[in-house]
Structure 1
Amino acid sequence: MKRKISKALADWKNNPKRMPLIVNGARQVGKTYIINQFGREHYSDVLYLNLEIEEQFCLFLETEISPRKIVQYLEAVKGIKVVAGSTLIFFDEIQVSERAITSLKYFCEDAPEHHIIAAGSLLGIALNRDKYSFPVGKVQQINMFPLDFEEYLWAMDRALLSKEIEEHFVSNEAMSEALHAVALDYYRQYMIVGGMPAAVTSFVDTQSFHDVQLIQNGIIQQYIADMSKYATAATSVKIRACYNSIPAQLAKENNKFQYKIVQRGGTATIFGESIEWLQFAGIVLKCQKLEHGFIPVSAYADLSNFKLYMGDIGMLTLHSRIPLQVLLSPVEADNIFLGSMAENYVAQALAAKGVDLFYWQSEGKAEIDFVLQNDDGVVPVEVKKGYLNRSRSLSLFAKRYHSPYAIRISKKNFGFENDVKSVPLYAAFCI
């Protein structure tokens, strides 16, 4: 399965100032698979250790974390000669061992010739604990997400279609209506299948949405197990309550996160830590409200107001229990939740590109779903679930903050008119 992160891994390998690399990401986004695949393609050997099951190695690290001693131990136990530059050392589930995380500092300082990658599903949560000391400045970090829509098209053997989409995004010229309809069909599929590699692989093999949702349900059960394993009993209950409330949060006309939806009388004091846990675990995406659309936008974030989206649109589809035929039908449906699902899909696409998520709301009812800051300035992005695109919000924001142009994402074909760039939903990955 082709993933965009492979290029980032290759760039890391070829960097003469390379440091140990940490790959962060939620469970089941494909970290273990892609790093092992990268190792097989670029190295003579891969020395793989899953620290959740390598208990003896973790005990060894409690007494010794010098790179020389670690390499000697691994050679003796695994029977593999570790050759700098030819052997990739891969520590999986590194959040299990604080000492393994600390050892990366010494690999950077004392043994930079060794190529070492670490991956963690709940690393952000582990590092948030008081006892953990992170080797700041001694490691490189990259984030891994579920497959975006372009990667999904690659998996479906539709690379030529993804290239065609990118070309029309740049030119702003409409695609043929036949090709536009095909791309929208794949978008509808993706809203159900999502980007979890196991779910995508299942759909490629079986074309069964039922099988896909069985896999997705298994992933949710893993999330729930992690909530119990990596949080106190009391906090675990709150985390699950916040997680279970997300479909209800998004179903509201104003889908700003409200603690009272989680529990009557709920407050940030009660549930703030739980939301942070979900965010650190990569299960949810947080979109912060902006008070103004000035540069830099991050300086104008209202930290008390935000939206929560699911980290994977397929998981939201399963969790919300929306009938699949509603998503698959090309007929326009008057359903507020479909609009929120389209927003969630775009949030996932932007997050995969490394974009910080912000939205804006005026004193009245005008709202911009996403606000981007790029070399051109501050660009408002509006998301529509269908073809009807009438809205004053884009022009209001663009005029107030002198935006060079605006972006409207919908089911309409590509185009550019009145300083508004029309982007079909299936092309969100191009932004």
Structure 2
Amino acid sequence: MFFQRKAYQALMTWKRQSEGKRAMLIEGARRVGKSTLAQEFAQREYAKHLIIDFSEASEDIKDLFRHYRANVDDFFMYLQAYTGVSLPRRNAVIVFDEVQRFPPAREFIKQLVADGRYDYIETGSLISLKRNVEGIVIPSEESSLRLNPLDFEEFLWARGEETLASAIRDSFDRLHPMPEPLHRKAERLFREYMLVGGMPQAVETYLTDKDFGMVDVVKRDILSLYRNDIAQFGAADAMRIRRVFSTLPGQLARHDKKFKLASLDNSARSREYADAFFWLADACISVTAYNVDDPEVGLASSTNESSFKCYMADTGLLITQMFADNASTPHEVYRDILLGKLETNEGMFTENIVAQQLMAGGHGLYFYSKRDSNNHENTMEIDFLISRGYDDAAGRLRISPIEVKSGKRYSTRSLDKFTEKFGKRVGTRIVLHPLPLKAENHTLRLPLYMAHLL
């Protein structure tokens, strides 16, 4: 089943603007829908297409890439003969699926793009892994697109709720709360989304079976696939990668959500585990958020890489990963989250789903954390920081601090302290909470289901 994805429009823009001068590499986690997206785009937007899946390509096909790089005309003549597909010039696309499994094909992109007769789309996971780029020159004629799990708006589209998705966007644009019945419906569907997650196979299973137990089986299969990838491709770091991966739920269950290396090993050092975190991020399994010591609009310029949080890229997988030692996720967990009655761990799931929406929207993940044991008034925790246009500064970028609230009763003390400390650097303050939209002074209180619109 093909779901409407925002990345499809990004591919349309690439096709129109590149005019064959750049290939497109679609990166993302395993089972996130890269191959389906590439195939659907190729079928719809070109007169002809050819898909070469390097997870199962024959040695005869691979030999063409090995032996005919110096003669592109012969390469295409033999490729079309082998596959039986005739490709019209400038109205055909060749898809290199799972290109990380055969690096010479990726390197060949340089000559193929220079030839100019076709468009090229590559898909890959673990695309930066050393063994997947070893011995090749990465082509500069390659654009890249990260495909994330479905965000909440895409989930609504998949459920046939396009009208509700438009109403949520209109409410956000006008800063006017939706009618209470629509708000309650959006809240309920957002909780469904949190439980199911955004992996296409899990969404498809939920839409077909309406059974969280069946969805849980699918998510466990995906997590098993990730563990197998760690064992197969983790090399010398496999044990450390596995440790980090297995402890992610426990780390996020901490009050401040910050990752503590000492919980893995009393003698653990950042340098020893750096490659493990990079591997999980490169596999698009996890997403790292860094503490910003001195927030400016260019948030990356003052990050403290020794202080970080590590989120799961998909919250549905996080919920299942939390109960990985059980044969299945207890049905009470699904019931209580769906009904808004989960008293423990809801904060971690809520913060993770916001991180997932911000990533899908193109934001890097940053936060602000300051502890002062001598003066509690200097202690503050801001869940996320983004740069955003600010009306009171003629639309110029300012820092928007974001607080995520899983409950309906809360304070904004940290936001107040942050605003007082950083003054004119601060723009609109944002609270994401399980309540209707409310705009007041310089604070925007948004329902959680609007996080994807930031």
- Superposition TM-score, scaled by structure 1 size: 0.95
Deviations 1:254-279 (A, max 9, x none): 21111122233222233221111000
Give the one of 129, 147, 155 matched to 2:150.
147
**Match of 1:124, SS?**
coil
| Aligned counterpart, 2:335 | 325
Shift of the alpha carbon at 1:129?
Answer: 5.3
C-alpha contact 1:369 1:382 (8 A) present in aligned 2: yes
Deviation at 1:127, TM superposition (A): 7.0
Which runs of at least 4 in structure 1 moved beyond 4 Å after TM superposition? 126-130
1:112-160 deviations in Å (ceiling 9; x for gaps): 2311100001212247755343113x11111100100000000111011
Which of residues 89, 92, 115 is equivalent to 1:87? 92
Q: In 1, distance between residues paired with 2:291 and 2:78?
A: 50
Name the residue aligned to 1:112.
116
Q: Which residue of 2 aligns with 1:299?
A: 301
Distance in structure 2 (CA, Å) of the matches to 1:216 and 1:31:
17
Match 1:393 to one of 414, 429, 443: 414
Equivalent-residue separation in structure 2 for 1:16 and 1:334 (angstroms): 51
Distance 2:98 2:130 in 1: 11
Q: Which residue of 2 aligns with 1:373?
A: 387
- SS where residue 412 of structure 1 aligns? coil
C-alpha RMSD over aligned residues: 1.6
Distance 1:127 1:185 in 2: 44
Q: Does residue 55 of structure 2 align to residue 41 of structure 1?
A: no
Deviation, 1:39, is 1.0
Which of 254, 257, 261 aligns to 1:255? It is 257
Q: State the one-letter code of the partner of 1:96.
A: R
Which amino acid in structure 1 is aligned with residue 428 of structure 2? Answer: Y
Corresponding residue of 2:394: none
1:330-353 CA distance string (max 9 Å, x none): 34x542x21111111011111111
Q: Separation in 1 of the partners of 2:229 and 2:37?
A: 22
Q: Aligned pair count? A: 426
64 and 272 in structure 1: CA distance in 2 versus 1, 3 angstrom threshold: same
Counterparts of 2:132 and 2:44, CA distance in 1: 34
**Under a length normalisation based on structure 2, what TM-score does the superposition of the two structures give?**
0.90
Structure 2, unmatched stretches of 5+, are: 324-328, 373-378, 391-397
Shift of 1:68: 3.0
C-alpha distance in 2, partners of 1:285/1:242? Answer: 12
Q: Give the AA of the match of 1:361.
A: S
Alpha-carbon distance in structure 2 between the residues aligned to 1:262 and 1:191: 28
Distance 1:197 1:15, change over 3 A: same
Q: Deviations along 1:16-42, whole A, 9 cap, x unmatched? A: 554111111111111111111111111
State the secondary structure of the residue aligned to 2:267: coil
Q: Distance in 2 between matches of 1:287 and 1:35?
A: 29
8 Å contact from structure 2 (residues 103, 133) kept in 1: no
- Aligned-residue offset at 1:51: 0.7
Do the aligned partners of 1:398 and 1:405 also contact (CA within 8 Å) in 2?
Answer: no
